[in-house]
Amino acid sequence: MTTQQRPPQIGPKDVANGGVINGKTLAKFEDDGANIVSNVYSDPESGKGHNLVIWCLKPGQENSMQWHDAVTHIFIINEGEGIYMKGEPFDAEKESPKASSPTPIAGFKHKEVHVKAGDIICIPSNTVHGIKNTGKSNLSYIAVSIGGPYNRIDVGPQVPAHRRPDAPAH
């Protein structure tokens, strides 16, 4: 299992405007791969383990298929349209060796669901997921992670993604 380190996070005391964040103004798109705008919001002091980032995908870009054993997600499509790639939830204790692999998993199937601005996607833990921009314009989505620790287990080949730039201080 790989553990992805999170950068220092902004908490409720740091958010201006009474806690209102405009996801469209924070979205930053890059030509060389999907971009994750990190440091948008988290509250490490509460112990609730939630985190908010913004994924930014230009047409044709996608994030890698992945799953988390202790984290649930809520994705809110901020702008654009694309495909949500969803695997079936599974019993991580019994099935995780098959679900974590650096190469495509033989026989792994996922459902593709068209998503667009305004759609909300709820992803339980132990569910393989990914997003691909199949539209003609930029796609960004707000990803809220709840629970923890944040263990990201990648499934299949990795696609270029990076964490720049971080959200500006609030």
Q: What is the pLDDT of residue 27?
A: 85
Q: What is the pLDDT of residue 103?
A: 46
Asked if the model's pLDDT at residue 170 lies above 50, the reply is no
3-state helix, strand, coil in the chain (%, to 5): 10, 40, 50
CB distance 11 to 51 below 8 Å: no
Which 8-state DSSP code applies to residue 5? P
Q: What is the pLDDT of residue 169?
A: 42
Two tokens, residue 7: 């950068």
Cα angle: 137, vertex 121, 165; to 5 degrees: 55
Contacts of 75 (CB under 8 A, 6+ apart): 84, 120, 121, 123, 131, 141, 142, 143, 144
Two tokens, residue 22: 């405009």
Q: Find the mean pLDDT for residues 128-155.
A: 88
Look up the pTM and report it.
Answer: 0.75
Beta strands 161-162 and 34-42 are parallel
Q: Find the mean pLDDT for residues 157-170.
A: 55
User: Ramachandran region of residue 49, left (φ > 0), alpha (ψ -120 to 50) or beta?
Assistant: left
- The larger pLDDT score, comparing residue 169 to residue 97, is at 97
Asked if the model's pLDDT at residue 114 lies above 70, the reply is yes
User: Hey, what domains does the chain have and what are their CATH numbers?
Assistant: 27-162 (2.60.120.10)
Work out the percent of the chain whose per-residue pLDDT is above 70.
61
Q: What phi, psi does 136 have (nearest 5°)?
A: -100, 0
Question: How far is 12 from 35, CA to CA, in rounded Å?
Answer: 24
Q: Write out pLDDT tens, residues 58-81.
A: 999 998 888 888 889 999 999 999
